[in-house]
Amino acid sequence: MENLKNSARVLGYIKGILNYKETPGYVLLNPGPVLTTPRVKAALVHHDTCHRDTDFAVLVRNLRSKLKKVFRGDERHEVVLITGSGTSGIEATISSTIPEDKKILVLINGAFGERYREVATVHRLNMEVLDFGWCNTMDVSAVEAKLAADPEICAVMLAHHETSVGLINPIGEIGAICRRHDRLLLVDAVSSLGAEDLDVVRDNIDICLSSANKAMQAIAGVAFVCVNDRAWKVIETVRPRVYYLDLKRYRKYAIEEELTPFTPAVNGFFALDAAVDELLEDGVESRWELYRERNRFLRENFLSMGLTFLDVAGQRSATLTIVKVPEYITYSELYDRMKGYGFIIYGCKGILTDTYFQIANMGDLSDEMLQSFVNTLQFVLYRARREAGLAVDMVEEPKVVDAIR
Domains annotated for the chain, with CATH where assigned, are 39-281 (3.40.640.10), 283-387 (3.90.1150.10)
The arithmetic mean of pLDDT across residues 206-218, rounded, is 98
Residues ≥6 apart with Cβ < 8 Å to 259 = 51, 52, 56, 57, 60, 253
Residue type, 78: E
**312 vs 111, higher pLDDT:** 111
Give the pLDDT confidence of 38-91 residue by residue, as tens digits. 999 999 999 899 999 999 999 999 999 999 999 999 999 999 999 999 999 999
- Confidence at residue 20, expressed as pLDDT on a 0 to 100 scale: 52
> What does the alpha-carbon distance between residue 387 and residue 404 come to, in Å, rounded to a whole number?
32
> How many whole angstroms separate alpha carbon 112 and alpha carbon 192?
13
Length of the chain: 405
Average pLDDT, the chain: 94
Helix/strand/coil percent split, the chain, to 5 = 45, 15, 40
Give the model's pLDDT for residue 390: 87
Cα distance between residue 245 and residue 95, in whole Å: 8
pLDDT tens for 276-311 read 999 999 999 999 999 999 999 999 999 999 999 999
**pLDDT score of 392:** 72
DSSP 365: -
- Check residue 405 and give its pLDDT: 47
Do 345 and 376 touch, CB atoms closer than 8 A?
no
| pLDDT of 2 higher than 70 | no
- Give CA–CA dist 90/119, Å, rounded: 8
**Structure confidence at residue 8 (pLDDT):** 54
Distance CA(219)–CA(44), nearest Å, equals 9
3-class DSSP assignment, residue 339: helix
Higher pLDDT, 217 or 403: 217
Model confidence, pTM: 0.92
- CA 121, CA 137: separation in Å to the nearest integer? 24
pLDDT at 188 over 60: yes
47 DSSP 8-state letter? P
